[in-house]
Amino acid sequence: MIIECLLSLAKINSMAKRISKHISYAEGVRTSVDIDNTPNDNQFGNMQYLAEELFEPLRKALGDKPIKVNSFFRSIEVNRAIGGSSRSQHRHGAAIDLDGIKSTNAEIFFHIFDNLEFDQLIWEKGDKEQPDWVHVSILRKGTNRKQALIYRNNKYLLFFEGMLVRPKAEKPKVEKAKLKKIAKVNAPVKRGRPKKVKDDKGKKK
């Protein structure tokens, strides 16, 4: 009974931990199957590294809009039960599946591709304008491959520019006071002859 209580308390304490500012421990280990999904210290370290080096900078760059974590860490047993790849980086806590809530999945994919370090980035299903979700991984040790793929019709294709539709960049928001200042600076110059100015003796020049 005492051992069960201690194990229960340990589980509660671990669930209260955070992986990063915007990813809770519960989000990181959530799974659809009723199998233990507890990462070891090394796997948890990988999760923290991914969250700090990739997820948090991504979220900040996209306006601090919430991004849903579909899947993060998967134990070998969980990964096997859901039919994941035997080589899945989720098993090491080094991969995450993301789904935009207020940002689009295309924005997530292209911001990572253009600006962040990653090992593998996958445009998962969907069409040329939007993937259904985005898979991305990063290595804490070793060299990241920077490999971008498209998964469609049960095939992985290497991504090349032009294969997908890039999202249109939003125009930066400018405060009203700045807009008025810009309008004043850019006001049209009045045409015509310059006014004659009187010299010191009162004569017009």
* Residue 6 pLDDT > 70: no
User: Whole-structure pTM over 0.85, yes or no?
Assistant: no
Give backbone dihedrals phi and psi of 24, rounded to 5 degrees, phi first: -85, 160
Residues 64-123 have pLDDT tens digits of 999 999 999 999 999 999 999 999 999 999 999 999 999 999 999 999 999 999 999 999
**Percent of the chain clearing pLDDT 90 (strictly above):** 73
Residue 168 has which token pair? 């249109």
**Percent of the chain clearing pLDDT 70 (strictly above):** 75
17 pLDDT tier (thresholds 50, 70, 90): confident
Contact predicate 140/46, CB 8 Å: yes
pLDDT at 203: 58
Rounded Cα gap, residues 48 and 118, in angstroms: 15
* Residue 184 pLDDT > 90: no
* Residue 205 pLDDT > 90: no
Residue 70, C-beta contacts closer than 8 angstroms, at least 6 positions apart = 97, 98, 99, 133
Considering the chain, what is the average pLDDT of its residues? 86
Rounded Cα gap, residues 54 and 136, in angstroms: 9
Domains of the chain: 2-185 (3.30.1380.10)
Residue with tokens 């996209």: 62
Rounded Cα gap, residues 131 and 148, in angstroms: 13
Contact predicate 72/93, CB 8 Å: yes
Q: Longest Cα pair distance anywhere in the chain, in angstroms?
A: 109
Residue 126 has which token pair? 């969907």
